[in-house]
Structure 1
Amino acid sequence: MCGICCSVSFSLEHFSKDLKEDLLCNLQRRGPDSSRQLVRSDADYQCLFSGHVLHLRGALTAQPLEGERGDVFLWNGEVFSGVQVEAEENDAQIMFNCLSSCQDESDILSLFSEVQGPWSFIYYQASHHHLWFGRDFFGRRSLLWHFGNLGMSFCLSSVGSHTSEVANQWREVPASGIFRIDLKSTSICKSVVLKLYPWRSISKENVTRECDERLTRASASLPPFVSVAANEATLCLKEPVAPLNVLLPPAPAAAPRAGVSSSRPSAETLRALLTDGHTQEVVGQFIAVLSSAVRRRVLCLPREGDLPPSAVLEPRDRKAKVAILFSGGVDSMVIAALADRHVPLDEPIDLLNVAFITKEKATPASSSNKGRKQGNGEMLSEESTPDAAAGPEKWAGAPDRATGRAGLKELQAASPARAWNLVEINVSLEELQELRRARICHLVQPSDTVLDDSIGCAVWFAARGAGCLVAPGGVRPYRSPAKVVLTGIGADEQLAGYSRHRARFQTHGLAGLNKEIEMELARISSRNLGRDDRVIGDHGKEARFPFLDENVVSFLNSLPVWEKANLTLPRGTGEKLILRLAAMELGLTASALLPKRAMQFGSRIAKLEKRNEKASDKCGRLQVISLENLSIEKETKTQCPQCNNIH
């Protein structure tokens, strides 16, 4: 995972060879292992490229990458399949090698059509004066743009600036396809024209209308001096997933299958469904494809096994390489159980469980613990574990804390040889307000609703991983060292997990449910993924999404909707039915029956400050601070004990 940025100016008057301090700081937090800047100048334009690397794979490879012909490449992604990358190789270098061998734009599109995995990129093609950029089909990696000075400059970046006069101009690059700008032509014509190479499903009938819709979406929120047009050759990227199966049964869905109780969720209901041979086969296939997705996301990481044989580590000294955003619900439980199959057994897995409290400010740990080095080698101060001395019980009122502890017991029973680290992350209202203002509001932007605030803050604190570990020897401060964070995003969208799916089914049946699922997947890039990538990446960690693996989505898209969900069954059974059946097959009986509970409610962050808010309301707490306030804050900045950075 990386922080990538390209600042372009068509006027020497507006060109700076250095990024603004706050933007550079934000990028460096995403990529703490290597930072480098590079300038490319032409008579008509100047480009500043800035790359910041989080090293996870192969040899540490500094970015930007340079080619013999003057080309420049910035890559923020992971190649999990489609393009051959060996375990010891760096995928950024492999992708640049492939791009350098492309003969024309058709070859470039073919390359990105084959890549499976999350990505955003910026590619300067010197010989043509072209700047290519874009995000993957689901938008799993953030990329923002803003256009200034009436088209005389623009900037692309993984994350935006802090200052209010610039922050409000940043918008997400739509995951509509790949964009290309002719820098020479733009300078001469004094207008910015973005050429779009859209994603296209070859199975859809009206391709022209589909491309027009993508053009319209890509043009939204752009200033009037910027336009988006279809590329002259009408070339497209091939969608990486199979189209959604919208097949309907011969007769409308009514009662559940014979022998299945519909009164309340129960293990007997799920066991009865698994007696059907076809259902059991489909569930087995789902487990296999999801397990492969998890495997790709937890391997190829630097591990102690790479050390010389003489460097033997005690179990307590082994650090977790993989963490999971963990509520104890069925999504995170299944991911944890499948991660257990592929992460080396002597390596801990961190389960990150967050809870918020309002009634009293947490009591700090004793001063004797300040700066104490923990068994995992991480330095942790008292401020980042405010309840370490007082104990975790007062935080247990958060629903996700209770299900997290229950889930831990279930995982320990299923895999007793594994060290499962339940990291209880407890956040006071005071800490939430302070760090939202200092960091989180800037990362969530341009997303700006109450829901974005709740989820963005909860995910930021969870991904930071600073809490306490409840171990047999007692409670001790702990900070997760894992650089890879698995999340369950994508399960609810594909498997009818939200209450709006049930409402749509009740009013429009299975046909309406299919349309709702199709809409959820189409908008997931703009609603969730860019925001969460910015929030998690701020800790120098990488978000990975097994449920949005291309093979997983294609498999689920291939199934008729009634094999994924049965909303004639009650909450806790009917929604995400295939996932609950998979949990049963994996031995996770209790968590298989838990009803969907949104993170903002499970962690108790929702309604924490204003109880009359609606999720879709614009959130005033996310407004970026003014330049005047920023200058005042600069005079009073101190070192943050949680991240060791200056705030």
Structure 2
Amino acid sequence: MCGIFCLLSLSPAQREGDKTVHEHLKRRGPNFSQDLTVRGSNPCYQCLFSAHVLHMRGLLTPQPFQDDAGNVLLWNGEIFGGIPVRPEENDTAVVSQKLASCNSSAEILSTLSSIRGPWGFIYLQKAEDCLWFGRDFFGRRSLLWRFDPDLQALTLTSVAACSSAPDKSVWQEVPAVGVYRIDLKAAAESGSMMFEVFPWAHVENHVFSGCSEAVLESVPSGCNAVMNPAGLELTSPVCPLNRSIPEPGNEHEVHLNSCSKDLEQLLASKDKTEESDRLIDVLSEAVRRRVQSLPFRMQDSPPADDQADVAVLFSGGIDSMILAVLADRHIPAHQPIDLLNVAFKLQEPKKQKESTKKPKKHKNRQMDDKPGADSQTSSPFDVPDRKTGRAGLGELQNLSPGRRWNFVEINVTQEELQEMRQERVCHLVHPLDTVLDDSIGCAVWFAARGKGVITEDHEQRSFSSSAKVILTGIGADEQLAGYSRHRVRFKTSGYEGLIQELAMELGRISSRNLGRDDRVIGDHGKEARFPYLDEDVVSYLNSLPVLEKADLTLPRGVGEKLLLRLSARQLGLGQSAVLPKRAMQFGSRIAKMEDKHEKASDKCTRLLTG
């Protein structure tokens, strides 16, 4: 993974990038940093490229990567399939070689379409005086843009910075509806910036007709976007969503009191067993690709006894539990796995303390420093996700007792939250700005940092996760009807409405979640990996009728994400297989940190700087 940056100027005046942005980019790529300036003489343009590399595969390959023909590639991605990459090879060099061999726009699109895995890229095709850029189908890697009309300069970057000062140009996320090309010669001659758009074919809810609303709404002021004249498209890496509506009466007739018995009864169906087994297979392979594509240094020198290469954002819920179980399959048994569990200090737990008859001074002890085992039950960090996380840890230890599971309790006080929000997180979440973005952005940032305590022999000690790879469960709820809004839509509009809601989820996941999470996790020099958004996993789930994935006539803890719950039971999981969905902002209790009545969609004033 990398922090990538390009400043394209149509004027001869040299301009440097924002120093704050540069610092954010450098934290994303701590292993190597380099700048490169390329000038076009006739016509006149200038590209300042800057790259900051997080070494993840093969030999360390400097970026910007310039080949013998003068082409320049900035690559922020991982190839997990589609294009062969040998263990000693680096993605950047492989992609550069593939793109350099392309003789037409159609061949460039074919190359990009074939890549399986997350990516964001910027590519100067020198002979054609063209600049290409864009994000993968799901938008799993961040890319932002803005245009300065006074300087006639376009900036592309993995991460930006927010400012309280008024600015004519604003940062926006590059829509993940395709890739873009700028004819630098035409731009320099006309003095205007025009983007040709090459859309993904069959994009749910973003069918491109001339120019999609998603592109038009976010094109920087002073720029224009048009459909490429040849009508070329990228090939979708996933199959279309199955929109078949269940016949009346086909719902699962299970009305028991025990959720576990509900699942066991459904598993008795041969078809259900086959479907859950198939989901396990494709998801297991997705996890394998992501936990075995690790930095070259790890193949040469094994980590210390308690130092893991892979971590899981871990709440003890079904999504993270399954990722942990499958990671256990593919990571050597002697290597630890870090389970990152974040909790925000409860501010006013007076009623709870009175009911448990604990003295007030005990409540206010610095439990996040070094609490004893006996004090855990009264800790102000005993939030719901901490409790389910500990229970999940117990299940994992029973399933794989020989594995060292580092359950990292990451405890955050309000003071530290406020400090790091202003110093770092507000810039990383930007340009998103809602209360929900604040809550999720802060929670994920502290979790990914991995600084907390672990318990050994009933004693706690400070611990900092060394894992560069962080598995996250995002994508499961979006595809398997895990959110409460899915039940609401089902009640009001039936299966047809539910299918429409699910179709919309993946279409907007890049702008709602993935760019933000990539920026937040990448700030620690770590890489987010999303097994539930693996192309093969999404294709398999897209191929199934909705009723095979979720049956919202069944109770909470069973009906939503039904197929995943059945898979969890197949994997040997117990109570975690029937835990209802709990959003991270509520499970970690960050939503309780601020004494305000806010809606998730409200603009968050706490994200403002200055």
Give the TM interval when normalised to the shorter protein: over 0.9
Cα distance in 2, alignment partners of residues 497 and 56 from structure 1: 32
SS of 1:109's equivalent in the other structure is helix
Kept in 2, the 8 Å contact 1:168–1:446? The answer is: no
Seen in structure 2, the aligned counterparts of structure 1 residues 305 and 525 have a Cα distance that, compared at 3 Å, is closer
Kept in 1, the 8 Å contact 2:339–2:406? The answer is: yes
Q: Which residue in the other structure is 1:247 paired with?
A: 244
Map 1:403-422; keep pairs closer than 5 Å: 403-422=388-407
Which of 299, 306, 309 in structure 2 is aligned with 1:321? 309
Q: Which residue in the other structure is 2:426 paired with?
A: 441
Moved more, 388-397 or 272-281: 388-397
Question: Quick one: which amino acid aligns to residue 519 of structure 2?
Answer: R
Q: Which residue in the other structure is 1:139 paired with?
A: 139
Q: Which residue in the other structure is 2:273 paired with?
A: 280
Question: Quick one: which amino acid aligns to residue 189 of structure 2?
Answer: I
What does the per-residue CA deviation read over 1:50-90, in whole Å, with 9 as the maximum and x for residues that have no partner?
01100010000010000112110000000000011112210
Q: Which residue in the other structure is 1:215 paired with?
A: 212
Map 1:30-429; keep pairs closer than 5 Å: 30-43=28-41, 44-150=44-150, 152-165=152-165, 169-201=170-202, 210-212=207-209, 215-251=212-248, 253=250, 256-257=252-253, 260-262=254-256, 264-302=257-295, 306-307=299-300, 317-359=305-347, 387-391=368-372, 393=376, 394-429=379-414
Task: Report how many aligned residue pairs link the two structures.
Answer: 587
Question: Quick one: which amino acid aligns to residue 514 of structure 2?
Answer: L
Cα distance in 2, alignment partners of residues 591 and 444 from structure 1: 31
Which of 608, 614, 624 in structure 1 is aligned with 2:593? 608
What does the per-residue CA deviation read over 1:111-168, in whole Å, with 9 as the maximum and x for residues that have no partner?
0111010000000011111000000000000000010025710100000034444697
Seen in structure 2, the aligned counterparts of structure 1 residues 151 and 252 have a Cα distance that, compared at 3 Å, is farther
Cα distance in 2, alignment partners of residues 175 and 151 from structure 1: 27
Kept in 2, the 8 Å contact 1:242–1:557? The answer is: yes
Which of 581, 588, 600 in structure 1 is aligned with 2:566? 581
Map 1:540-579; keep pairs closer than 5 Å: 540-579=525-564
Cα distance in 1, alignment partners of residues 45 and 323 from structure 2: 48
Q: Quote how far apart the aligned CAs of 1:507 are.
A: 1.3
Q: Quote how far apart the aligned CAs of 1:184 are.
A: 1.6
Q: Quote how far apart the aligned CAs of 1:267 are.
A: 1.0
What does the per-residue CA deviation read over 1:309-368, in whole Å, with 9 as the maximum and x for residues that have no partner?
xxx87xx6352000000000000000000000001110000000000014389xxxxxxx
What does the per-residue CA deviation read over 1:373-395, in whole Å, with 9 as the maximum and x for residues that have no partner?
xxxxxxxxxxxx97222347214
- How does the TM-score come out when normalised to structure 2? 0.93
Moved more, 409-418 or 316-325: 316-325
Question: Quick one: which amino acid aligns to residue 512 of structure 2?
Answer: R
Question: Quick one: which amino acid aligns to residue 269 of structure 2?
Answer: D
What does the per-residue CA deviation read over 1:445-468, in whole Å, with 9 as the maximum and x for residues that have no partner?
111110000000000000000000
Unaligned runs of 5+ in 2: 350-365
Kept in 2, the 8 Å contact 1:265–1:593? The answer is: no
Map 1:442-461; keep pairs closer than 5 Å: 442-461=427-446
Cα distance in 1, alignment partners of residues 270 and 340 from structure 2: 37
Seen in structure 2, the aligned counterparts of structure 1 residues 226 and 105 have a Cα distance that, compared at 3 Å, is same
Unaligned runs of 5+ in 1: 362-384, 626-647
Q: Quote how far apart the aligned CAs of 1:586 are.
A: 0.7
Kept in 2, the 8 Å contact 1:176–1:214? The answer is: no
Cα distance in 1, alignment partners of residues 540 and 20 from structure 2: 43
SS of 1:200's equivalent in the other structure is coil
Which of 15, 26, 29 in structure 1 is aligned with 2:27? 29
Cα distance in 2, alignment partners of residues 463 and 178 from structure 1: 29
Q: Quote how far apart the aligned CAs of 1:471 are.
A: 1.7
SS of 1:229's equivalent in the other structure is strand
Cα distance in 1, alignment partners of residues 450 and 319 from structure 2: 19
Seen in structure 2, the aligned counterparts of structure 1 residues 224 and 54 have a Cα distance that, compared at 3 Å, is closer
Kept in 2, the 8 Å contact 1:328–1:405? The answer is: yes
- How does the TM-score come out when normalised to structure 1? 0.88
SS of 2:403's equivalent in the other structure is coil
SS of 2:462's equivalent in the other structure is strand
Kept in 2, the 8 Å contact 1:354–1:458? The answer is: yes
Q: Quote how far apart the aligned CAs of 1:215 are.
A: 2.7
Kept in 2, the 8 Å contact 1:466–1:478? The answer is: yes
What does the per-residue CA deviation read over 1:2-51, in whole Å, with 9 as the maximum and x for residues that have no partner?
000001111123x22x4322111111000000001000012311110001
Cα distance in 1, alignment partners of residues 208 and 162 from structure 2: 35
Cα distance in 2, alignment partners of residues 617 and 343 from structure 1: 42
Kept in 1, the 8 Å contact 2:40–2:46? The answer is: yes
Kept in 2, the 8 Å contact 1:265–1:572? The answer is: no
Which of 469, 481, 490 in structure 2 is aligned with 1:496? 481
Question: Quick one: which amino acid aligns to residue 287 of structure 2?
Answer: V
Seen in structure 2, the aligned counterparts of structure 1 residues 277 and 214 have a Cα distance that, compared at 3 Å, is farther
Kept in 1, the 8 Å contact 2:305–2:335? The answer is: no
Q: Which residue in the other structure is 2:358 paired with?
A: none
SS of 2:590's equivalent in the other structure is coil
Seen in structure 2, the aligned counterparts of structure 1 residues 37 and 167 have a Cα distance that, compared at 3 Å, is farther
Q: Quote how far apart the aligned CAs of 1:253 are.
A: 5.0
Question: Quick one: which amino acid aligns to residue 178 of structure 1?
Answer: V
Question: Quick one: which amino acid aligns to residue 261 of structure 1?
Answer: H
Q: Which residue in the other structure is 2:18 paired with?
A: 20
Cα distance in 1, alignment partners of residues 245 and 210 from structure 2: 26
Cα distance in 2, alignment partners of residues 167 and 483 from structure 1: 37
Cα distance in 2, alignment partners of residues 473 and 355 from structure 1: 20
Cα distance in 2, alignment partners of residues 305 and 169 from structure 1: 41
Kept in 2, the 8 Å contact 1:567–1:574? The answer is: yes
Kept in 2, the 8 Å contact 1:22–1:162? The answer is: no
Seen in structure 2, the aligned counterparts of structure 1 residues 182 and 344 have a Cα distance that, compared at 3 Å, is same
SS of 1:606's equivalent in the other structure is helix
Kept in 1, the 8 Å contact 2:309–2:466? The answer is: yes
Q: Quote how far apart the aligned CAs of 1:410 are.
A: 0.3
Kept in 1, the 8 Å contact 2:162–2:426? The answer is: no
Cα distance in 2, alignment partners of residues 70 and 305 from structure 1: 33
Kept in 2, the 8 Å contact 1:320–1:348? The answer is: yes
Cα distance in 2, alignment partners of residues 455 and 8 from structure 1: 33
Moved more, 404-413 or 606-615: 606-615
Kept in 2, the 8 Å contact 1:356–1:428? The answer is: yes
Q: Which residue in the other structure is 2:363 paired with?
A: none
Q: Quote how far apart the aligned CAs of 1:201 are.
A: 2.4
Q: Quote how far apart the aligned CAs of 1:183 are.
A: 1.3
Seen in structure 2, the aligned counterparts of structure 1 residues 302 and 128 have a Cα distance that, compared at 3 Å, is closer
Which of 485, 490, 506 in structure 2 is aligned with 1:505? 490
Q: Quote how far apart the aligned CAs of 1:223 are.
A: 4.0
Question: Quick one: which amino acid aligns to residue 3 of structure 1?
Answer: G
